[in-house]
Chains A and B, each alone.
Chain A
Amino acid sequence: MTTQLTHLEALEAEAIHIIREVAAEFEKPVMLFSGGKDSAVMLRLAEKAFWPARIPFPVMHVDTGHNFDEVYDYRDRRVAELGIQLVVASVQDSIDQGRVVEETGPRASRNRLQTVTLLDAIAEHGFDAVFGGGRRDEEKARAKERVFSFRDDFGQWDPKNQRPELWNLYNGKHRKGEHIRVFPLSNWTELDIWQYVADDDVELPSIYYAHRRKVFRRDGMLLAVTPYITLMDGEEPEELQVRFRTVGDASCTGAVESSAATVEQVIQEVAASRLTERGATRADDRISEAGMEDRKREGYF
């Protein structure tokens, strides 16, 4: 028998170690669960970390209200299967309570508003550790993020003043009101995620696989026709075979034309892709080169 792990096994072992460390050291952890593929894998790893016991913390969905039905269905099904508690932090509530102001115009998106909703929910519930599915390969600002990433009592990230992180020893010390964002998938790439989904039969919302959908073109992306987005002059809806590479606010998450209907076909496509998943399909990340860094400083995922 070999005593060498494959890279996916090593990544899995590392993530489970991180998740258990949080369960052991924090009083009130929560795991963000959007129904996206990264959070689906992260939740699966949490399931494995505590087996045969239940996951000893709730999951939280920061819900823009602008999600695809397939994603809501998937979220509720997983939560029921695992017998865990779901906390929904609603951007609509934040708008109704006047905490944030809805953007207007055809390019309005609720993406940025999520930060306030997220931070309010963390404060309201007193969460001291918040698991996120962020990966360092996603984006340049994320490449420097720690696995245990300290947030001050305004929820802010200070990239220039991060705690050094050595070996597998994580420093989760914090004061009341501060919290730690924890990223068990830090060292995974998009391809790792998909290979894991394939190897481990991780169920994903159906919109990750090719399906026919009414879409229109904007800024070189394919956006879904939904009630949450207004078409501008010259934008023509058409029905195409598409799939999504990330799952976010329906108003700013683009689809790609694809015939990949199975996970194996998706892996082939990802491996051959010439565009980053965010560059290709996330209007929110195109704001500026420093867009992600700014949002992360404010307390974004």
Chain B
Amino acid sequence: MAPLGSRATGGSTEMLRFATAGSVDDGKSTLIGRLLLETKQIFEDQLEAVERTSRDKGFDYTNLALLTDGLRAEREQGITIDVAYRYFATPRRKFIIADTPGHVQYTRNMVTGASTADLALVLIDARKGVLEQSRRHAVIASLLQVKHLVLCVNKMDLVDFDEGRYDEICAEFVDFAAKLDIDDLTFIPISALLGDNVVQHSHNTPWYEGPTLLHHLEHVYIGSDRNLIDARFPVQYVIRPMSHEHHDYRGYAGEVASGIFRPGDEVVVLPTGFSTTIAGIDEYGGPIPEAFPPMSVSIRLADDLDVSRGDMLCRPNNMPTVTQDVDAMICWFSERPLRVGGTYLIKHTTRTARVRVQQLNYRLDVNTLHRDESHGSLAMNDMGRIGLRAAVPLFVDEYRRNRRTGSFILVDEATFETVGAGMVLGSAP
């Protein structure tokens, strides 16, 4: 058993999750292949397989993109269909890449990848400049509150590493990004194929003084991205040992959604509204002095209250909005369009409930940010603003402020498909 309160030591590196997006052929797979190769994540047998396939297909050079094509249908069609997760590490950080395919119809993949990302990396082909799809990727990253956006202007080798061309693309993008909610925007001129400014500084871009891509990924500060202010603890599971040794133990297990909890804190239990204090917070083996996101812990309360899954602990002077009417942005995933008046299951924190779609305010054009109020429904890959009425109260915060208590999914009651992903704007009027 680990000593009480002790934490793992060996891997004392941080984790950074990022999503990659780009239009088809902008070089996303090549870039990921290069990052993996240069950080020595590619094993000889993998590289040999890719070299063999490249030769068999008659390519002039080893196609690093093949390192990441997973499923047979993808290899056959030569495109990436689904989000894939990839891993690499440097001594500073462990990275999780959500590699999201960039076809027109796959907004849902980008939304999925961005939902867990600290950073989004968007590729632009230097010859083509800022395309409609590049704009869409930036819009989605901003809607999903990905705090850091990196724009890689790729294929610089094909424009002779021209500073003017690079500046032009950056300027155009900055103009557009001004309309978005992006805290941190970084531009890097690269050649994924040749490796310029990916891991090594390029001699071809003496005019560029910024970091290489890898250096930026290793150093970008993400420590303040989490919400450590608003204490929210959705109860996930009740631990009751039913053993002689721990006869009276009752722990409320869950993941800290936001804020910091400490023993002695006064807390309110929603929805009942009873207040009590935290008697102790446990991890395996015993009590710990505090819990912050995204720790999975178990909280003991001073009073015997009726608390179960789906309830939430918070602080008396800082509570989420308790409401049955939710105003939200939604991204629609299903081939069956969103039905106004239709009912769905909502999964929000650890609560699952029925909801009815009361109204569709507008459909958002993710390329232009235009709001189309004449639309009667949302089709697959559409985004729009809706009003929901839930059968039970939900404990929500605005997604901008709290990714955990501001996000939800909708599930079709008949097919059990995940049909939508929602971000709370507030409580509907």
Contact = CB atoms under 8 A, between A and B. Distances in A.
B347 A169 contact: yes
Nearest to A14: B294
B42 to A, nearest CB: 9
B3 to A, nearest CB: 11
A143 B86 contact: yes
Interface residues of B, number: 83
A279 interface: yes
Contacts of B341: none
Given A173-B345, A199-B10, A290-B72, A280 B421 contact: no
A232 interface: no
A136 B87 contact: yes
B8 A196 contact: yes
A171 interface: yes
B15 A195 contact: no
A54 B244 CA distance: 12
A10 B15 contact: yes
Contacts of B421: 164, 166
B240 A8 contact: no
A94 B277 CA distance: 55
A160 B82 contact: yes
Nearest to B114: A166
B43 A4 contact: no
Nearest to B235: A24
B282 to A, nearest CB: 7
A9 interface: yes
B46 A9 contact: no
A211 interface: no
B418 A7 contact: no
Interface stretch (B206-214, B317-325, B388-396, B408-416): B408-416
Contact of A174 (B8, B14, B416): B416
Contact of A166 (B239, B253, B407): B407
A85 B286 CA distance: 25
B71 A160 contact: yes
Given A10-B15, A52-B249, A164-B418, A198 B236 contact: no
A51 B81 CA distance: 41
A275 B416 contact: no
Contacts of B418: 163-166, 171
A8 B241 CA distance: 27
A182 B334 CA distance: 23
A53 B43 contact: no
B112 A191 contact: no
Given A144-B70, A164-B112, A200-B2, A171 B10 contact: no
Contacts, number: 209
Contacts of A298: none
A53 B84 contact: no
Contacts of A1: 289-290
A171 B295 CA distance: 21
A268 interface: no
Interface string A178-213: 000000001101011001101111000000000000
A152 to B, nearest CB: 12
Most buried by A among B11, B109, B223, B416: B11
A198 to B, nearest CB: 5
Nearest to A147: B85
A140 B85 CA distance: 10
A51 B284 contact: yes
B167 to A, nearest CB: 36
Contact of A276 (B9, B45, B84, B109): B45
Nearest to B242: A53
Given A8-B8, A10-B294, A162 B345 contact: no
Nearest to B245: A52
Nearest to A277: B43
Given A48-B283, A164-B333, A199 B11 contact: yes
A8 B112 contact: no
A7 B71 contact: no
A191 B87 CA distance: 11
A137 B87 contact: yes
A52 B253 CA distance: 12
A51 B94 contact: no
Contact of A144 (B84, B239, B290, B295): B84
B73 interface: yes
Interface string A137-155: 1001101100000000000
Contact of A162 (B75, B82, B284): B82
A23 B70 contact: no
Interface in A271-301: 273-276, 279-280, 289-290, 293
8 closest pairs, A vs B, by CB? A279-B45, A48-B284, A173-B416, A53-B241, A7-B15, A16-B296, A166-B115, A7-B94
Given A17-B255, A267-B10, 4 more contacts: A7-B13, A21-B236, A54-B241, A171-B418
15 contacts: A5-B7, A6-B13, A7-B11, A13-B294, A20-B254, A49-B296, A52-B246, A137-B86, A140-B69, A143-B68, A144-B82, A160-B71, A165-B112, A168-B404, A293-B72
